[in-house]
Amino acid sequence: MVDRAVPCSMLIMAAAAANVWHRPRSGRSTLALISRLDSFSIARMLKFLGKYREAGLLLLRASVGLIFILICAPVLLSGEHRWWQFGSAMRVFNFHSHLDWWGFLGALAGCIGGIFMMLGFAFRIGILLAFLVALVNAIAVAHHEHSLYSIIIPIEAVIVLVCLSFIGPGKYSVDKS
């Protein structure tokens, strides 16, 4: 029985001193055999998961769409003050009036885009709507924040949407018959 308080490096040194990793007659070490078995099982598992590519795409599509709905729906339902806050990102593009309308249109576009993404109905139009909201957000964050870590997440959202526009909705969508 191995005591859990013993560091791993001490166990490795003890195994090396006891010559646990000896060379079998075939010339291969036991450690190499174990690593070969691990790579075989990993390859088998990845091949098994490859059969569920369409389900993975459905999960990605539904989760990204749900994120856009969860972000934009409270803005859409909150009223003019929240619309103004959401639309204030347009100041980066020198739009300084009617920010409440810009916020309303942005929240509406994000919700409709999220719904279209989740359903797979008019998928690329939904991606375009969500992409516009994410791109304005990424540019506004990059304009106001100067650290790399604040800018990474909005840029990542834009990249995921661009990649999804190339991939398409997949087999499990409302459009497919």
Q: CB under 8 Å to 20, separation ≥6 — which residues?
A: none
Residue with tokens 């516009």: 132
pTM: 0.72
Tell me the residue type at 84. Answer: W
Encoded tokens for 1: 């029985």
Residue with tokens 């990542």: 156
DSSP 109-161: HHHHHHHHHHHTTTHHHHHHHHHHHHHHHHHHHHHH--SHHHHHHHHHHHHHH
The per-residue pLDDT for 79 is 92
> C-alpha distances in angstroms, 62 versus 45, 52, 80, 146?
24, 15, 29, 32
The per-residue pLDDT for 147 is 87
The per-residue pLDDT for 45 is 75
> C-alpha distances in angstroms, 1 versus 5, 7, 17, 99?
12, 14, 18, 68
The per-residue pLDDT for 1 is 46
Contact call for residues 158 and 131 (beta carbons, < 8 A):
yes
> Sign of dihedral through CA atoms 15, 16, 19, 25?
positive
The per-residue pLDDT for 20 is 47
| pLDDT in single tens digits along all 177 residues of the chain | 444 554 444 444 444 544 544 445 555 555 554 555 555 677 777 777 788 889 999 999 999 999 999 999 999 999 999 999 999 999 999 999 999 999 999 999 999 999 999 999 999 999 999 999 999 999 999 999 988 898 999 999 999 999 999 999 989 888 875
